Copies of this chain bind each other. A is one copy, B any other.
Amino acid sequence: MVATRAGVSAATVSLVTSGKTAGRVSKENIAKVAAAVDELGYVVDGLGSSLAKGRSNIVILVAPDVSNPFYAKVIAGIRDAVGDEYQLLLSVTEAGQTPEPEDVKNLLALRPAGLLVEAPSARFLAELRSTGPMVLLDTAGIESAAPSVNFDVASGSRMLADHLGEQGHRNVAYLDSATGTETFRVRREAFCRHASGLGVDVVATATSTIDVGAAALAFAQDWPEWAAKGVTAVVCATDTHAYGVLQEARVVGIRVPAELAVTGFDDLPYSATSNPGLTTVHLPAMEMGRMAGKQLRRLMEGEEVAVAQLTLNGTLVVRGSTDASARG
């Protein structure tokens, strides 16, 4: 330990660097150590420190697909809540994949102070022998004993169905996400069930990956059939899908919302400024990150969480893409 030379003692340095000097180290020594640390540009070695303490100060977020503006907000919320005594690091799985147990096994060897897992698969939860503080995000439709923070996407879907029903739609199409994530299954099923109770029928379904181009293509292929079935609205699993529909509609000359209403889900930034603006379910991403971070923090500090399963509600944001007054 380099700083030892410059100062006086050995263990004392540790006390100083970890800020545990309260009534244990003289002012003189604190000053000496501080000076030495400065001169030598010393930084506590995380490895040795962590090994001695039994765990590191890193918090790992395992996320499926960071290249989504949605996650950027979640991450911002997490960082906010976790604080800087922990080091937040991301482990990104292959694009579109949900995290698998193998991915986490190696991560666990790092002895993280805490683990945050976004959109885990059912298999993941079954196999993972959790070792330490962990909170799950976005586990829609999967039950688990681990603390989690979720969106109530089902209620969002119902609000969408209500809105469409009020606007007079009777036959709608559903453009689903091709990734098998649970949240999308829940979104669709909740919508279909609630809608049918209102006399709004989902008469056709298509799927595409979460990509504007792919969604546009899927819509282009199915639109003739949908039109023949009297479809007047397309409900999309995500805003991204909706952008594809909006784009293709413009190309083909379908007027939105006059001929066709379009809805999204997520409320990405672009949805407020697109033309027309997109009616969608706003999901409080940053808030989700913040809550997950808070829960984890509590766990890392050895406390219990008051409520293990947290649910955040979405809100319906009505914009131009479903404006009934524009309809013939």
User: Is B66 in contact with A90, judged by CB distance below 8 angstroms?
Assistant: yes
Within 8 A of B (CB), among A61-110: 65-69, 71-72, 75-76, 79, 87-92, 94-95, 105-110
Contact (Cβ within 8 A) A110 B213:
no
Please measure, in the bound complex, the distance between the C-alpha atom of A315 and the C-alpha atom of B119, giving whole angstroms. Answer: 37
A48 interfacial by beta-carbon distance below 8 Å: yes
The interface bits of chain A over 235-274 (1 if a CB of B lies within 8 angstroms of the residue's CB, else 0) are 0000000001001001100000000000000000110111
Contact size range, A: 35 or more
Q: Does A111 count as interface, using CB distance less than 8 angstroms? A: yes
Within 17-32 of A, Cβ neighbours of B (below 8 Å) are at none
Contact across chains for A89 and B60 when beta carbons are under 8 A apart: yes
Report Cα–Cα, A106/B244, bound state, in Å: 42
CA distance A44 to B94 in the complex (A): 24
Asked if A58 is at the interface (CB within 8 A of a chain B CB), the reply is yes
| Closest chain B CB from A44 CB (angstroms) | 6
Q: In whole angstroms, how far apart are the Cα atoms of A48 and B69 in the complex?
A: 37
Determine if A204 is an interface residue (Cβ-Cβ < 8 Å): no
Q: List, in ascending order, chain B residues with CB within 8 A of A109's CB.
A: 43-46, 49
Give chain B nearest CB distance to A264 CB in angstroms: 15
* Shortest Cβ gap from A241 to chain B (Å): 13
A323 at the A/B interface (Cβ < 8 Å)? no
A50 on interface, CB distance cutoff 8 Å:
yes
Residue of B44, B111, B247 touching A46 (CB-CB under 8 A): B111
**Contacting residues, chain B, for A108 (C-beta < 8 A):** 43
What is the distance, in angstroms, from A218's C-beta to the closest C-beta of chain B? 12
Are the CB atoms of A269 and B213 closer together than 8 Å? yes
A76 touches B105 (CB 8 A): no
Contacts of A275 in B (CB 8 A): 247, 250-251
A211 interface hit (Cβ, 8 Å):
yes
Minimum C-beta distance from A282 to chain B (A): 16
Of B92, B211, B273, the residue contacting A247 (CB under 8 A) is B273
Least Cβ–Cβ distance between A36 and chain B, in angstroms? 17
Pairwise interchain contact B89-A41, C-beta atoms closer than 8 A: no
User: Counting CB contacts under 8 A, is A126 at the interface?
Assistant: no
Q: Is B76 touching A72 in the complex (CB atoms < 8 A)?
A: no
Kindly state the separation between the CA atoms of A76 and B273 in the bound complex, as whole angstroms: 30
Confirm or deny: A129 has a beta carbon within 8 angstroms of a beta carbon on chain B.
yes
Task: For the complex, give the distance between the alpha carbons of A273 and B41 in Å.
Answer: 52
Residue numbers in B under 8 Å from A94 (CB-CB): 76, 79
A288 within 8 A of B: no
Q: A66 contacts which chain B residues (CB < 8 A)?
A: 66-67, 71-72, 75, 90
Q: Contacts A90-B90, A272-B213 hold; do A76 and B95 have CB atoms under 8 A apart?
A: yes
9 residue pairs A–B, Cβ–Cβ below 8 Å:
A43-B105, A43-B106, A45-B109, A60-B89, A65-B72, A67-B72, A89-B91, A90-B91, A90-B92
* Smallest CB-CB A-B distances: 10 pairs: A67-B72, A213-B273, A46-B109, A90-B90, A89-B89, A66-B66, A47-B51, A46-B110, A67-B69, A251-B275
